[in-house]
Structures are given as C-alpha cells and as structure tokens.
Amino acid sequence: MTMIKSLVLGSAAALIAVSGAQAADLPVKAKAVEYVKICSLYGAGFYYIPGTDTCMKIGGYLRVDTTFNGGIFDQPAWNGNLGQQNRLRDYYAARSRLALSVDTRTATQYGVVRTFGQANFNLNSSTGEGPAAAGTQTLGVDLVFIQFAGFTFGKSASAYATPWHGYPGNNSSFLLGGHDDVVGTNNIQYTAQFGNGVSASIGLDDPYYGRTSLLNLGVTNPSTSIAAGSNAYSGARSPDIVGNIRVDQAWGLFQVSAAAHQVSGSYNLLTAGAANNLSEISGHPESKWGGSVMAALQLKNLPTGPGDDIKVDVSYATGMTKNVLNTAPSFAMFGSTGRADSYQSIGFGQTADGVYMPGGDIKLVDAYGIRGAFNHNWDPYWSTSLFGSWAAVRYGGNSLDLATAKGQWCANYNVGKGLSADYSCNPDFNISQLGLITRWTPVANLTFSAEVMWFHLDQKFGGAATMTAVAPKPIARYEYKDQDAVSLNVRVQRNF
C-alpha cells in the first residue's frame, strides 16, 4: 500500500513538473502592430506619425535640365562669358537636382500648427562660366518655416509675393518684370482670413533680399565699360515692410501688394567698395525710404479649354528695383558692329536702387514692368504656355544736370573713356522677353518639356567709346548697340 501510494504521488509530481515546463515554453501573445494610419485631413500623401496626432507628408521632385546658349535653369546670355560670347563660355549648361520636402500638420485648439522644410541637392555639370565652375555640387535650403494661429516664422515666401512668383507659365528662373520669392526669405508675417476668399497679409522681410546696389558715384572706375561708381549700401538698419490684399474666387485671383524698403548708404568715401581709415570721418548720406507696388490677376475657366488660365502681374518700384528685376542682374552683352571705327558692339545696363555723390543726397532709381503667360492644355498629356515680360529702369533727370541721378551717373562713367563725337550717355534701359514652352506628361507626375526664349536689351547709349572691357575682350573702341540672345531649355522632372 505504501509502495502504491509513493508511486502515485511520484507520478503526480512528475506530471506537474512536465506541465510546468510545457507551460513555460508556450509563446507569449504578441503586442498589436501599430500600422501607419492615413491622415485625410490635409490632402493626399499625409499619414499619422505612429504614436502621435501629427500628420506628415514627405515629397519632392527629381529634375534634370539642360540649357543651350544660357545658364542653368534657362538664364539668358546677358552677362559674363555668355554675354561676351567668347571662347571661355559653355555652349550648354546642365543641372541635376533632387529636392526633398517634409510637411507636418497638427490640429490644436488654436488651429493647425504646420512646419515645412525643403532642401535641394544640386550637381551642375556646367554653369555657363567656363571650366573652373564645372561639376560643382551645392546644397540649397528653399523654405524652412513654422505656421501657427495665422503667423509664419522662418524662411518663407514674402507676404508681397503672388502664388506663382516668377513662374506664370515658364521653366526659366529668370523671367524678369516683377517680384520672385519662390525660394523664400527670412521673415515674420501674419495672414488674416475674412471669408469668401478674401485675405490680407502683413510681414517683415530680410532687407538684403530686396537690395540691388546703392552707387557711390564719388568712386570712379575709368577702366570698366559696364559700370559706374561702387556699391555702398550700409548694413541692415530696418526690415522691409510688406503686405497684400487678396481675393480668391472660382474665376481666379486678384491681389494688390505693397512694400517699403530703406535705402541707406555706408560712407561718403570708399575705394572700390572697401572702407578705409578715412571712411568714418567722411560722413554718410541720409537714408531714404523707397518701395514698390504690384497688382496681379489670374483668370480661370477660359473658353479655350479645361484648366487653361491667364496669369499677369504689373509692378512699379522706386529704390527697390529687385521687385521688378527679380534676379537683380546687371547686363553686359557684346555683338557685331557695322561701324568702321569700332571693334565690336556693346549693350549694358547697370541695375541699382539709388545713387549719390559724396556730400549729397540719395537719388532713388525707378523701375516698372509687366509679365504674364497664357497656359493651354491640348489634352490630358500635352500643354503649351506662351509667356513674356517687359521692364524698364530709369535713373531720372538728364545727363548734363549734375543735380540729377542721370547727370551724376554719366559724370562718373565718362571719366577715362575715349568718347566718339556722336557719343551720348544715358544709363536707362529696357528689357524684353518672349518664350514658348510645350510639355508632355505621358504618366502622372512625369513631365518632359522644351522651352525657347528670346531676350532683348534695349540700351539708351549712343555713339562709341574706347574702353577696357572685361578680359578676354581687348582695349578697343566699342559701339553702343541693342543686343539679343536666344536660349533653349529641355527638362525632365519626376514629382513624388
């Protein structure tokens, strides 16, 4: 009996031990996987960051384009080696770019909190300025900002800008005639929504973005053919004050923008733009306020076809030329001549916000322009845009009146040049652009395009002068003459 009892108890103990071992080997129930959840609050492409109530979208594009007889992104041959058309110029310029953007949105009791940033990774196979500039790699930061309760902080589009910036229908990043802030500038701004598509914005922008040059005409440059004076802007003293009133409707958009910009000089005495030990005691000109205004219009639902539209903007600036000539170039173009006493012809225009003579006041430079495009869709795969611009820069006064901007500019420029008997000085100039682009989109978000653009410089000088042009041009007599350039841009771009 005792033996049977021991056997039963031993067997039971063994079974309990085996059962415990088997129970220890059973798999533990896994935690539920937290899959990525689509966020439909802010449009396609957003998803919730796991474990948060923040929605995020990662996007961007990859772009490859080549320009013939121009710089990257279809810059016309309007200065440098391209403007000279010398043998140091590149016959084509290409860029490959990868743009990556991150957009986050979070709903709060104060409205949506948004952050946005975009970085561009670029490889330039050529820049249109000779072999030393070939194969450069760059990193650019276009936009980095925070939006909260109507405010925007960071590098964003100015409150002055239109939604299309400098791109009413073109590939070129160099369509002049108005403001262009597509890459953004450091600013603080506030936007109020009044309902029915009516809004208003006001902001403070980095003043360096709105500058071209302030010319100290007490500094002479007798050897150069394409400039007078020396840039003498002071350091930043006040932000640019900008704003707009805008109406968005089914028929399109109408916007009026305004900006105020302080033009302030450094010192009366400068040597080729550099301060010296006499600069502070030489004094400085009193600052002046300039500014600009712009009216913009977009018309949709045109009878020519679905998706067709017209975009146009008109601008005027005084002391803020960059809001008309948005990339702030100065022009220096060379060409042929029929004049017997001249080596070649030259056309140039010096872009500036104002001029002054030491001891005198600043005289602001005026500029005005218009640009726009008609965009037509032939079918879901093919589209064409006809675009163009016209702009003018005016120094004011006349070349013989030293109390005016034009008279002071000419007195500085004429020094050291062998002027022809029929020479006349006038730094005013006009520019014109006309272009046509056709796009093919065989599949969604993949576009091939070809753009041809004509650029014309209407300069106002007359006669000829003997001068030292920038090398490799020789010291020779050059005829002043209008100039033209034509460029071709081809591009393929994949958005994602």
Separation CA 38–CA 53 (nearest Å): 11
> What are the Cα distances from residue 345, in Å, to 227, 466, 481?
16, 11, 6
Which tops the pLDDT comparison, 19 or 339?
Answer: 339
pLDDT (tens digit per residue) in 182-241: 999 999 999 999 999 999 999 999 999 999 999 999 987 655 678 899 999 999 999 999
DSSP string of 293-314, one letter each residue: EEEEEEE-S-TT-TT-EEEEEE
Q: What is the pLDDT of residue 467?
A: 87
Q: Work out the pLDDT band at 16, boundaries 50, 70, 90.
A: very low
Instruction: Look at 11-25, 132-146, 346-360 and tell me which has the smallest mean pLDDT.
Output: 11-25
Q: What is the pLDDT of residue 29?
A: 55
Q: What is the pLDDT of residue 4?
A: 40
User: Pick from 384, 350, 355, 379: which is nearest to 457 by CA?
Assistant: 350
List the beta bridge partners of residue 198: 195, 247
Check: CB of residue 259 under 8 Å from CB of residue 323.
Answer: yes
CB atoms within 10 A of CB 218: 20
Model confidence at 112: pLDDT above 80? yes
Please give the mean pLDDT across all residues of the chain.
Answer: 91
Q: What is the pLDDT of residue 15?
A: 35
Tell me the three state secondary structure of residue 346: strand
| Domain assignments of the chain as residue spans, ordered by start | 56-495
Q: What is the pLDDT of residue 223?
A: 55
CB atoms within 10 A of CB 476: 16
Separation CA 406–CA 398 (nearest Å): 5
Q: What is the pLDDT of residue 334?
A: 97
pLDDT (tens digit per residue) in 308-334: 999 999 999 999 999 999 999 999 999
Q: How far is CA 257 from the centre of its chain?
A: 18
Q: Work out the pLDDT band at 274, boundaries 50, 70, 90.
A: confident
Separation CA 495–CA 101 (nearest Å): 11
Q: What is the pLDDT of residue 493?
A: 98
Task: Report the percent of the chain where pLDDT is more than 90.
Answer: 84
Model confidence at 18: pLDDT above 80? no
Q: What is the pLDDT of residue 27?
A: 53
Q: What is the pLDDT of residue 222?
A: 54
> What are the Cα distances from residue 177, in Å, to 10, 305, 413, 434?
100, 27, 26, 12
Q: Work out the pLDDT band at 34, boundaries 50, 70, 90.
A: low
Separation CA 157–CA 147 (nearest Å): 12
Q: Greatest CA separation found in the chain? A: 143
Domain 56-495 has CATH 2.40.160.10: yes
Mean pLDDT, rounded, for 465-469: 87
Q: What is the pLDDT of residue 7?
A: 38
User: Pick from 69, 169, 83, 66: which is nearest to 486 by CA?
Assistant: 69
pLDDT (tens digit per residue) in 1-10: 444 444 333 4
Looking up tokens 């005289």, which residue turns up?
A: 363
Q: What is the pLDDT of residue 28?
A: 53
List the beta bridge partners of residue 56: 47, 104
Check: CB of residue 455 under 8 Å from CB of residue 389.
Answer: no
Instruction: Look at 23-37, 127-141, 171-185 and tell me which has the smallest mean pLDDT.
Output: 23-37
Please give the sequence-ordered ranges of beta strands (E in DSSP) within 109-197, or none if there are none.
111-124, 136-148, 151-156, 185-195
Check: CB of residue 275 under 8 Å from CB of residue 133.
Answer: no
CB atoms within 10 A of CB 379: 8
